[in-house]
């Protein structure tokens, strides 16, 4: 029975990619005594969008928050296994967590701009990391980041207004601009559109597609259509296990694991 279950939960599909940027091997996370994810191994390639899908509580957000060690802030969270970024173990004692988060940015479920001006929101990262030599350079970083996030035309006349005064979709794009202002290698997105209307969602999805040119993006989403639209690879999680990984098109058209199929066809979830 136990063996059978184990076999059933073994990841289906190829978890490896050539020249990965992030490489997870045997990752376990538990919150106190409660296991959140079990033995997850997954590679993430350069310049791809990988979607993580699955029913609530399946551990996809947990894995995402391991990648920039944001789980460190949760008391009782224990992470075992190895996660490497460009071959370097991010849970190594030598790894500085501030440095890591400058390289792995994050966009959250609910837009969370700082209660400061639009300009200050974007300038915050470059400022604390000392990326700009002077005001002119900082201005330029702010402008290009806002342009890349497709927000510049909407906010260029009100850079000094509070970021919290923007609409929900604009706030989320501001958060994306804030993240890309420090030129991270990977951007983690935790259900970035779940608080937005369909039009704002469409804009963010377009943006994700453009950002793929320069960044690697891991996106957790509840919307299977969104996963299908924006990602190249999809990973399906179920109750803390990584069930199936593969090219998005293959997963959606020809899922190999029964659980994946059940989820995609709407039998549960």
Partner 1 sequence: MNRPELQTVAASQQRVRERVGRSLRRRYRAERRFRACGLGAVLAGVLAVGGLFVSIVSTGYSVFWQTRITLDIQFVPEAVRAGDFTALVRAALRQQFPEVEGRQDLRQLYGLISDGAGYELRDRVAAEPGLSGTTAAIALLAADDVDQLRKGRSDRHAPEAERIISDRQLAWLDELDRRQRIHRQFNREFFTAGDSREPEQAGIRGALVGSFLTLLVTLLLSFPIGVAAAVYLEEFAPRNRLTDLIEVNINNLAAVPSIVFGLLGLAVFIQFFGVPRSAPLAGGLVLTLMTLPTIIIASRAAIRAVPPSIREAALGMGASPLQMVAHHVLPLALPGMLTGAIIGMARALGESAPLLMIGMVAFIADVPAGALSPATVLPVQVFLWADSPEPAFLERTSGAIIVLLVFLLLMNAAAVILRQKFERRW
Q: In what order do the strands lie in the sheet with 233-238?
A: 104-107, 186-190, 216-220, 49-53, 233-238, 241-247
CA dist 67 and 98 (Å) reads: 13
| Least distance (Å) between residue 265 CB and partner 1 | 35
Sequence-ordered alpha helix ranges (H) in 43-134: 60-67, 97-103, 118-129
Site map 48..87 versus partner 1, x via CB under 8 A: --------------------x-x--x-x------------
Structure tokens at 66: 């391991």
Find the helix or strand (DSSP H, E) in which 219 lies.
strand 216-220
Q: Tokens 């979830």, residue?
A: 269
Please, which residue, 75 or 198, has the CB nearer to partner 1? 75
CB of 245 to partner 1, least distance (A): 25
As beta bridge partners, residue 237 has: 242
Min dist. Cβ of residue 89 to partner 1 (A): 19
Closer to partner 1 by CB, 72 or 206: give it: 72
Please list, residue by residue across 151-183, b when 16 or more beta carbons sit within 10 angstroms of its beta carbon and e when fewer do.
Answer: bbebbeeebeeebbebeebbbbbbbbbbbbbbb
Contact set for partner 1, span 84-123 (CB under 8 A)? 98-102, 105-106, 108, 110, 112-115
Q: Which run of H or of E encompasses 20? A: strand 20-31
Among 13, 125, 240, 246, binds partner 1 (CB under 8 A): 125
Residue list 182-241, contact with partner 1 (CB under 8 A): 182
Q: State which of positions 153-192 bind partner 1 (CB under 8 A).
A: 164, 175, 178-179, 182
User: What minimum distance in Å lies between the beta carbon of 143 and partner 1?
Assistant: 19
Residue 129 lies near partner 1 (rule: CB under 8 A): yes
Binding site for partner 1 (CB under 8 A): 68, 70, 73, 75, 98-102, 105-106, 108, 110, 112-115, 124-125, 128-129, 164, 175, 178-179, 182
């Amino acid at each position: 029975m136990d063996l059978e279950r184990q076999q059933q939960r073994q990841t289906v599909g190829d978890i490896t990619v050539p020249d990965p940027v992030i490489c997870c091997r045997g990752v376990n996370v538990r919150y106190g005594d409660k296991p959140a994810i079990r033995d997850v191994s997954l590679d993430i390639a350069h310049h791809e969008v990988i979607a993580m899908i699955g029913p609530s509580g399946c551990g996809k957000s947990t894995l995402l928050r391991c990648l920039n060690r944001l789980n460190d802030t949760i008391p009782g969270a224990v992470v075992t296994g190895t996660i490497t970024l460009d071959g370097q173990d991010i849970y190594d004692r030598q790894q500085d967590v501030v440095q890591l988060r400058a390289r792995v940015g994050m966009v959250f479920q609910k837009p969370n701009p700082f209660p400061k001006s639009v300009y200050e929101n974007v300038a915050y990262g470059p400022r604390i990391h000392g990326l700009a030599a002077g005001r002119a350079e900082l201005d330029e970083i702010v402008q290009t980041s806002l342009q890349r996030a497709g927000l510049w035309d909407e906010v260029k006349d009100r850079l000094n207004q509070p970021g919290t005064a923007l609409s929900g979709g604009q706030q989320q794009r501001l958060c994306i601009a804030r993240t890309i202002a420090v030129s991270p290698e990977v951007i983690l997105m935790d259900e970035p559109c779940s608080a937005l209307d369909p039009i704002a969602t469409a804009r963010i999805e377009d943006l994700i597609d453009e950002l793929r040119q320069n960044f690697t993006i891991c996106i957790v989403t509840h919307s299977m259509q969104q996963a299908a639209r924006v990602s190249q690879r999809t990973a399906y999680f179920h109750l803390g296990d990584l069930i199936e990984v593969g090219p998005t098109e293959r997963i959606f058209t020809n899922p190999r694991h029964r659980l994946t199929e059940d989820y995609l066809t709407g039998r549960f979830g």
